[in-house]
Structure 1
């Protein structure tokens, strides 16, 4: 049998994940598809995204300090404003991530020269508390190779946009104080300590990386959620979550 071309890898990988979404099942990591390139993982992700819903923004994930964060799409169909109501039966997994998100107030047109962070910040309208719900199409999550996690939209399930404030210069993102409770009991709490460092810097890196790779800009109204401050917290049916970022806002979620 001849070796798979990059097009073969992307086509086959996308089809496996699209089928998992459409059937509502989890699958094993495809050992027969030699996914070894970041570019191919993004290409698979993009093809799957075309079938999932209406793009509404971006999530940052797979964050390693000192590296440009990886990213995937958010979708209007899987996003709600706080207070949100989700149904456990719609997910394979329900793990919560406490995050900060921003909403663009102006377009960021594509250009060859990277944007300085100050230019990006000037176009951000608001800063929000946000909860990402992690889910996976792979049965052995979290023991999934990073490139397959990237192909699978960085294990995205749903997104909840909470209350917010005018963005200002986004300085408050770095050392923001947060608390996530489940049924009133503190699950995680802290101040700053984002694994990637300053979320505003990560935002700028992601915007420039995606613009360079795709040649496309960003539109006013797009949401960017900048990755978890403190790992993931499991949530059960019947529980109520509340995330508070001091001086920024709160997000609430009830799981039915």
Structure 2
């Protein structure tokens, strides 16, 4: 990937100054993933400098084959959850604040004890004891790139993994693996159920996704990891009232104005 500093400037101009879409077409199809994460780091550092707040965890995208097929990826990718773009349910968001809005119901995991790369490979089984709560959540996905599904993995990663917001429900500390595995997630828009799914919709389940992150990035107590959509996604429109039901794990409510 050439001129990563320029690419970071373009993403930031789109993200922070509303210069949409970013003129990034010359990078389309570039798959230099290491450079893309360097751009993401620059973008996040400047976003935090200008907007304040902090990183409160990580999101993982493309954790199932259908999502990877849509975006042309051969594996998952990660971005950061930011305090300034995270909110609690019930939430009201404005459609005009985003290039477009895709809503993804996700199982988020709150970390209770540190997880760090090195010292052996983390697995779904080995990370389970580090989770102190399951949190129902909905990620707000968007993109600064024109024709974003054709942009390629590098540009999606550079744009913080296409993560533009995150709405969380109440943490559930009284959970077990059977509950997490068997919960049905339903996405309701108005009076209509538009999607349903469960933890099996993400490869290896939510704990497997957590292990994938922990093998790459340090996670500290209090961090959240949002593990990828448990249902098909919803392209939201102004006027939508959306509820993501997570059975005994609670729900997340979002109104689009």
Identify the TM-score tier after normalising by the shorter chain: 0.7 to 0.9
Question: Which whole-Å CA distance do the structure 1 matches of 2:28 and 2:38 have between them?
Answer: 14
Q: Answer 1 or 2: which has greater helix percent.
A: 2
| 96-105 vs 34-43, greater mean Cα deviation | 34-43
SS in 2 for 1:77: helix
| 117-126 vs 78-87, greater mean Cα deviation | 117-126
SS in 2 for 1:13: helix
Pairwise CA distance, 1:116: 4.1
Pairwise CA distance, 1:41: 0.9
User: Taking structure 2 as the reference length, what is the TM-score of the superposition?
Assistant: 0.85
Pairwise CA distance, 1:34: 8.1
* Structure 2 partner of 1:189: 196
Of 205, 209, 222, the residue aligned with 2:212 is 205
User: Taking structure 1 as the reference length, what is the TM-score of the superposition?
Assistant: 0.86
Q: How do 1:152-163 and structure 2 match up within 5 A?
A: 152-163=159-170
Residue segments in structure 2 that go unaligned for 5+ positions in a row:
49-53, 69-73
Of 98, 107, 111, the residue aligned with 1:100 is 107
Pairwise CA RMSD: 2.3
Pairwise CA distance, 1:249: 1.4
Cα pair 1:58 1:72 within 8 Å, conserved: yes
SS in 2 for 1:127: strand
Question: Which whole-Å CA distance do the structure 1 matches of 2:16 and 2:79 have between them?
Answer: 19
Pairwise CA distance, 1:194: 0.5
Cα pair 2:117 2:214 within 8 Å, conserved: no
Question: Which whole-Å CA distance do the structure 2 matches of 1:194 and 1:9 have between them?
Answer: 37
The answer to whether structure 1 residue 147 and structure 2 residue 154 are counterparts is: yes
Cα pair 1:132 1:158 within 8 Å, conserved: yes
Question: Which whole-Å CA distance do the structure 2 matches of 1:153 and 1:125 have between them?
Answer: 26
Question: Which whole-Å CA distance do the structure 1 matches of 2:55 and 2:171 have between them?
Answer: 21
